[in-house]
Structure 1
Amino acid sequence: MSDAKYFQRGKIQELRTELNSEKKDKQHSKKKIVLKKIVANMTMGNDMSPLFPDVINCMRIPVLEIKKMVYLYLINYSRTKPDMAEMAIPTFIKDAEDHNPLIRALSIRTMSYINVDKIVDALVDPLRHCLRDRDPYVRKTAAIAVAKLYMHDKVLVESEGFIDLLRNLLIDGNPTVVANAVAALTEISERSENILLKLNLAISIKLVTALNECSEWGQTYILEALMSFVPQEIGDAETLCERITPRLQHANSSVVLTAVKLIMYFINYMTKEEDITNLCKKLSPPLVTLLSSGPEVQYVALRNILLIIQRRPDVLRNDIKVFFCKYNDPIYVKLAKLEIMFRLANADNVDQVLSELKEYATEVDVDFVRKAVRSIGRLAVKIESTADRCIAALLDLIQTKVNYVVQEAIVVIKDIFRKYPNQYESIIGTLCENLDNLDEPEAKSAMIWIIGQYSDRIENSDELLDDFLFTFLEEPVEVQLSLLTATVKLFIKRPTAGQALVPKVLKWATENVDNPDLRDRGYIYWRLLSTDPVAAKAVVLSDKPRISTESDNMEPILLEELLLHISSLASIYHKSPQTFIHHSKARALIPSAVLNRNRFPGQRQPPPKNMLDDDFTTGNLANFESNPYNVDAVNIGSDGLVENLLLDI
């Protein structure tokens, strides 16, 4: 608070006069005050660069506090005044040999910040000596300075042998020096195309030993560096995991998540299933503890947990209650918890989960309610024994007549019909009562699919589709595609009811729309119906593959990569870091004699999509003739098309 008085706009000339004053000032207190004013003005954004020569003259004063302020000034203005910054080189070199280790370290640190060619060249010799300095504070500062120097001049760092000097620091007796050397080597290896951080078992054990005496950030860097060790013999991974597991109890969330990442990595190099099971059990308590932190840390933990349970479902299998949402959780935390609840749900705990989801579906937050309703439907698809209860819950929600609840319920009921055909058609009447509430494309598409799929069981299915067709040309493509397919299904199942709709829809799809997907599908339906109606019936009404929740699983290759990036932005975005970080290096499990090849148990690829169902894409057109629509062959609007089809079906 006492320094607040310095944050007032000062005049350059007045500050220069005070700085060059020749009045007696044995303790240099007046110069300290002036420099504080200069730094304060610099912090406020006022241009203090005209004082460059005057400030440099103060570098010779052997007072640490003054040197700190002068060096801060140099870092700030050296980019705009590179020629004048060179005037400080003699003093920098002198300070790098000072008897006070704080001044030696301060000199090296400041020079490494300044990207001026002559200063970078002048830094080489002092930096080499400081990497071997007798004081650990100087050595740890010099280690980080090498990483900064690498950003300025990669070739210089490699040619001068600084990488080898950093590697020597990995066996330093001071844990802080080891941590900083690891941090520097990690940063350099991330930015270099030819420098890789590779550790052997002896060095890895040495690094693990240093963990106990490092700061929390030093521990994080060391744990991160251990990802560069590839176990080559049975027992290597188990040995390191045994020494790393105490980090799971650390108070810092970064240390905990990095330790989790390292254990998940080493599990891939273990051969005994018993050891893997025991380690998975040890991962649960620390992950649960993270959920008692603030919402931001909770969200990071939840996004990482979502990756972990896809790879190791046994982790947290018995802790589903900790993911139940609290009333004061932020919406992003609630949504993340919902996804994890769904993935951890099984036949034993499904009643608890369903009860929670039904309660969430009555909340006021629209996004949360939508996600809860959709989770109920996904639960029915995932666990067959609970389908009846899920359907009953969805029908109760539909009776609330809340617009967005009804629409989400219809979307997921479509999936339930796909999963369990000919089981729940009795509720279609209830769904049809809510057609007026549908105004979202996804809900409209779902309802249209239901009408088309069960058009032979819905007496007025033709009237319902005709109502939707009234706005066909104004609807989104998603709805238009659904209407086209549903109308064709109606015609095939009930030719008399659909004979007035098919020509109209095909004409719109092929002549009045610009979307290539819709137009191509229209031509294909047209050609099928006009040339071989029997084949059209076999294709359009063929049995669809039953859907499953396995299609929600992440691609195994991407999941494997993201598990190597736990506790990073990639694990939060659920995207490979190469997609949003320039020149980021890809990570993958390196082959080894003990690498577990069966890395993805129980994961299967989703079933192929039916080409002519609502998932149709133009990519499937290759399966047809190169010219599938001979426009002159058939007149879409002719009565002959309908008559011929009626005769063949």
Structure 2
Amino acid sequence: MVDSISQIASALESAKAITLEAAAVASSKLGESSYTHYSKNLSTQQLRNLLNSRNSREVKDAMKRILSILASNDTSIDIEEFFSDVVKNISSDDIKVKRMVYLYLLRYAEKDQNLALLSVNAIQKTLGDSNPDVRAFSLKALSDIKIPSLTPIVLLSVRKLIVDPSPVVRSEVLYTLMKLYRWKRNELEEDIIDLYTGLLCDSDPKVISSVLVVFKECFPDRLELLHGHYRYFCQILKKLDSWAQSYLIETLIRYCKRYIIKPMVVDISSSDRSSNCVPLPDKYNQIMFPVYELRMDKDLELFISSLKILRFSTNPVVIISCCNAFFQLTTPNDFRNSGFPDVLTNIAIASSNVGVKSLLLQSILLYSKLDSTLFQQFNREFLPFPSDDTTIVCLKLEILATLINDTNVEFILRELKKIVKHQKNEKIIIVASQTMASCGKLSVTLESHIMKWFIKVIETEKSGLTNNILDCFVNIIRELVSANPRRHLKFILKLADLLTTNHVRADNARAGIIWLFGEIAGIEFKVCPDIVRILINGFVDEGPESRRQLILLSAKLVSYEYDISNENSNGSYNVEDSRVMKMFQYLAYLGQFDDNYGVRDMVRYLTSLFDSGKYEIAALLLQAPKPNIWDKPILDGDSDFVEDTEDIDHDLITYHSYIPWDVSDDVIDSKTLDMREPLPLKDYNKFKKSFSSENYVDTSNSFVRDNASEEIPTDTTSTHSPSVTRNSFTSSTGKKYKLQSLDEFFSDVPAMRSTKKYNSLPKKKKIVTVVESSSEGETDSSEDDETSEDESETSSSGLESSED
């Protein structure tokens, strides 16, 4: 009974195993791995058996398991011990297996170089594979195996495949040259440059894209290599891939700056244009003519015109590169009329990627700081949305600050007030407030309006304002007042009320207001002593910055009082009777014992001046005029755009920095020598060996010679060989092909000939290809015979070979 049960259990286990195997095979037929569900439980020996299997499906599953372990850093199985079992599968016919073996080989080749070298021969054989993807991947695998002894083999393979008819392979050749240049630059630099120079003449845009990548990585300063290819590169710019377009634009900008004469700016508002003609200024926005046009070299014009089609590119990097080209090589009018500011704005607003959007907005901010008219018409587009990221909102607000003018200031100011009132993000409120301050420099009326509005917000919403926001508001008011204190005395007095009523509690904000009273002491001295008198009682409760500024304010009042007394009493100043001096001495006494070293240092510095009687020196130090915050330097092309662009990436500023023209005298003097004369292109399509209608016959019944690309007319009056007829042609391998009718094709099928049904079929003509021998002799006599019912000869194939 027990034996019967064990036999039944064994049979069930066998059936389960068979069922699992069948399910695995079925799943592999549907495109899934046959060992997906239980490959993780394979033992080391089972995995080795799969690698040594003759079934390519099992080898593929084993390699997938190996690579999954490799990718996950699983230490449960040491996959290095399978090196020999894996590498021997490099000769597999399955291209997927080959790729996986290559990936494994690249990881462990350096650890076992002797065993890895055994696979080199198999890799070299695949360099001649009919599949160009296999050839390209084989060269990649060969070049990635960093074994010093393989360098000559890799270089030999490159020389062999550099004329490969497939652009995919030639592109891989370029990347291999880049690896050799990085690895063996000192030894192989001359050979690499020779091979690279030959690939510069390639006619395929896909290969040129790779050429530009290698040029950027290996030869960025060898601009002289581009002389004979400049015009062709400009012509095929639109055919390159997006990243290659960006690389080419950056490279040609530097090339134009070095080898093309600077354009001329012509004043078209005057009648004598020849006299009013100057070279393009090195500073972008400092052209002296109100109306002008740009005259440039024909090669520079070719480059500029080739950029215009790229306005329709969907790659933001290409758009930024084109904008940089117009910024570097043309005038503001040309840049504005090119349409790229519109495209840059549209892509920046429409992009959903925060990183890309930030990059584009930063570029717009840099350009708008140089010339706000480029984006003046898009001021509404830069209003922030509730869904925008904080960084994006801040960049939009900074752009708006550069676009403010008399026509849009009311609209922008109204929108900024809504943001400050209803926004919850502290950083956005601060940036929006600073943008409002930019509106104040347009007119005195706006200055007063903005200060009044900020003071009202401080009074009504003091509990809802954080210290940083309050500090920002006070600083804005202080900056607007300091531009012309005498004009805004009433707002200064209002700030005094904010101090005394404790509406402003933040230490930095209170310190800023106290400092402001020190600046207006020379204008309205009578107000300031009362501020010190009121605040001196709560000195110990003030913050460290406020205490320091209060001591400084009292010292300034002493210096101003000294000047006033000298004017009234001819040089006598009574220190003992001065209440201002007594307030300073009291504050200095308290400051000597302050726990903040900045306050103590301030006290020692000021008391040393007054105790020694050096009031004149104190007046010079304390009453020194402060620069106006609105008197900022005009930006130009030579500057690093702005100094206060901490929100803009430094690399982006470097990328957009203006490159000066540096054309040598030799280039200027050699006007008769055309250094950019195009070199002959290399068309590798003539080396194609594939059998197709494109290589052998065209739609106009013309025949093309393989390897020569010459059309052979099919006119009946031609004097070609008799074998070249309308129904025959010869391949590059020497085989002759002819066209055969349907009846001729089935003439050797006895089963069909012996039936009445076949005899009743209509005699329709159908073109069938038949292979003949490579000789030029007579064709088989059956070619001209009609199919009949009495034929007795049979053949197992429908393809007939001509007899020599």
For 2:64, the aligned partner's letter is: K
Partner of 2:201: 171
Partner of 2:378: 319
* Higher deviation after alignment, 174-183 or 196-205: 196-205
Partner of 1:20: 52
Answering whether residue 100 of structure 2 is matched by residue 69 of structure 1, we say yes
Partner of 1:558: 640
Secondary structure at the counterpart of residue 361 of structure 1: helix
Q: How far apart, CA to CA, are the structure 1 residues paired with 2:534 and 2:144?
A: 72
Instruction: Work out whether residues 532 and 550 of structure 2, in 8 Å CA contact, stay in contact via their aligned partners in 1.
Output: no
Q: How far apart, CA to CA, are the structure 2 residues paired with 1:517 and 1:205?
A: 69
Secondary structure at the counterpart of residue 40 of structure 2: coil
Q: How far apart, CA to CA, are the structure 2 residues paired with 1:575 and 1:319?
A: 26
Partner of 2:40: 8
Q: In the TM superposition, what whole-angstrom CA distance separates every residue of 1:121-174 from its partner, at most 9, and x where no partner exists?
A: 432221233233232110011112222333333224414x21232233233110
Gaps of 5+ in 2: 1-30, 264-295, 563-577, 666-804
Partner of 2:556: 489
Q: How far apart, CA to CA, are the structure 2 residues paired with 1:529 and 1:164?
A: 81
Partner of 2:447: 387
Q: In the TM superposition, what whole-angstrom CA distance separates every residue of 1:343-392 from its partner, at most 9, and x where no partner exists?
A: 11122211111111111101111211122122222331465552122223
Instruction: Work out whether residues 448 and 465 of structure 1, in 8 Å CA contact, stay in contact via their aligned partners in 2.
Output: no
Query: CA offset at residue 111 of structure 1?
Result: 2.8
Query: CA offset at residue 99 of structure 1?
Result: 3.7
Instruction: Work out whether residues 544 and 599 of structure 2, in 8 Å CA contact, stay in contact via their aligned partners in 1.
Output: no
Taking structure 1 as reference, are residues 588 and 56 closer, same or farther at Cα in structure 2, changes over 3 Å only? same
Taking structure 1 as reference, are residues 465 and 189 closer, same or farther at Cα in structure 2, changes over 3 Å only? farther
Q: How far apart, CA to CA, are the structure 2 residues paired with 1:529 and 1:101?
A: 92
Q: How far apart, CA to CA, are the structure 1 residues paired with 2:488 and 2:650?
A: 36
Answering whether residue 663 of structure 2 is matched by residue 592 of structure 1, we say yes
Q: How far apart, CA to CA, are the structure 2 residues paired with 1:357 and 1:282?
A: 28
Instruction: Work out whether residues 185 and 197 of structure 1, in 8 Å CA contact, stay in contact via their aligned partners in 2.
Output: no
Taking structure 1 as reference, are residues 171 and 529 closer, same or farther at Cα in structure 2, changes over 3 Å only? farther
Instruction: Work out whether residues 491 and 499 of structure 1, in 8 Å CA contact, stay in contact via their aligned partners in 2.
Output: yes
Taking structure 1 as reference, are residues 383 and 29 closer, same or farther at Cα in structure 2, changes over 3 Å only? farther
Q: Within 5 Å, which residues of 2 pair with 1:338-487?
A: 338-362=397-421, 363-381=423-441, 384=444, 386-399=446-459, 400-401=461-462, 402-404=464-466, 405-435=469-499, 436=502, 438=504, 440=506, 442-454=508-520, 456=525, 457-458=527-528, 460-466=530-536, 469-470=539-540, 475=544, 482-487=549-554
Q: How far apart, CA to CA, are the structure 2 residues paired with 1:453 and 1:467?
A: 22
Q: In the TM superposition, what whole-angstrom CA distance separates every residue of 1:169-195 from its partner, at most 9, and x where no partner exists?
A: 2331100100101101101136xxxx5
Query: CA offset at residue 336 of structure 1?
Result: 0.6
Secondary structure at the counterpart of residue 632 of structure 2: helix
Gaps of 5+ in 1: 564-569, 579-583, 595-649
Q: In the TM superposition, what whole-angstrom CA distance separates every residue of 1:15-41 from its partner, at most 9, and x where no partner exists?
A: 1122113xx53xx22211211221222
Q: Within 5 Å, which residues of 2 pair with 1:64-463?
A: 64-159=95-190, 161-189=191-219, 195-198=221-224, 203-231=229-257, 232-233=260-261, 234=263, 235-236=296-297, 237-267=300-330, 275=334, 277-279=336-338, 282-294=340-352, 295-362=354-421, 363-381=423-441, 384=444, 386-399=446-459, 400-401=461-462, 402-404=464-466, 405-435=469-499, 436=502, 438=504, 440=506, 442-454=508-520, 456=525, 457-458=527-528, 460-463=530-533
Instruction: Work out whether residues 199 and 226 of structure 1, in 8 Å CA contact, stay in contact via their aligned partners in 2.
Output: no
Q: How far apart, CA to CA, are the structure 2 residues paired with 1:531 and 1:32?
A: 95
Query: CA offset at residue 198 of structure 1?
Result: 4.5
Q: How far apart, CA to CA, are the structure 1 residues paired with 2:256 and 2:593?
A: 62
Q: How far apart, CA to CA, are the structure 1 residues paired with 2:439 and 2:306?
A: 40
Answering whether residue 572 of structure 2 is matched by residue 541 of structure 1, we say no
Instruction: Work out whether residues 249 and 286 of structure 1, in 8 Å CA contact, stay in contact via their aligned partners in 2.
Output: no
Q: In the TM superposition, what whole-angstrom CA distance separates every residue of 1:423-442 from its partner, at most 9, and x where no partner exists?
A: 11212343234443545554
Query: CA offset at residue 316 of structure 1?
Result: 0.3
Query: CA offset at residue 240 of structure 1?
Result: 1.3
Taking structure 1 as reference, are residues 8 and 170 closer, same or farther at Cα in structure 2, changes over 3 Å only? same
Partner of 1:519: 601
Instruction: Work out whether residues 326 and 335 of structure 2, in 8 Å CA contact, stay in contact via their aligned partners in 1.
Output: no
Q: How far apart, CA to CA, are the structure 1 residues paired with 2:593 and 2:162?
A: 76
Q: In the TM superposition, what whole-angstrom CA distance separates every residue of 1:181-240 from its partner, at most 9, and x where no partner exists?
A: 1101101136xxxx5345656523311222232232332332233233125234243331
Partner of 1:641: none
For 2:388, the aligned partner's letter is: D
Instruction: Work out whether residues 474 and 513 of structure 2, in 8 Å CA contact, stay in contact via their aligned partners in 1.
Output: yes
Secondary structure at the counterpart of residue 318 of structure 2: helix
Taking only aligned residues, the RMSD between alpha carbons, in angstroms, comes to: 3.6
Answering whether residue 67 of structure 2 is matched by residue 39 of structure 1, we say yes
Instruction: Work out whether residues 382 and 400 of structure 2, in 8 Å CA contact, stay in contact via their aligned partners in 1.
Output: yes
Q: How far apart, CA to CA, are the structure 2 residues paired with 1:587 and 1:11?
A: 64
Instruction: Work out whether residues 593 and 600 of structure 2, in 8 Å CA contact, stay in contact via their aligned partners in 1.
Output: no
For 1:463, the aligned partner's letter is: R
Q: Which has the higher helix share?
A: 1
Taking structure 1 as reference, are residues 84 and 356 closer, same or farther at Cα in structure 2, changes over 3 Å only? farther
Instruction: Work out whether residues 370 and 635 of structure 2, in 8 Å CA contact, stay in contact via their aligned partners in 1.
Output: no
Instruction: Work out whether residues 174 and 214 of structure 2, in 8 Å CA contact, stay in contact via their aligned partners in 1.
Output: yes
Q: How far apart, CA to CA, are the structure 2 residues paired with 1:13 and 1:538?
A: 91
TM-score, length basis structure 1: 0.77
TM-score, length basis structure 2: 0.64
Larger Rg computed on CA atoms: 2
Q: How far apart, CA to CA, are the structure 2 residues paired with 1:247 and 1:305?
A: 18
Q: How far apart, CA to CA, are the structure 1 residues paired with 2:317 and 2:39?
A: 36
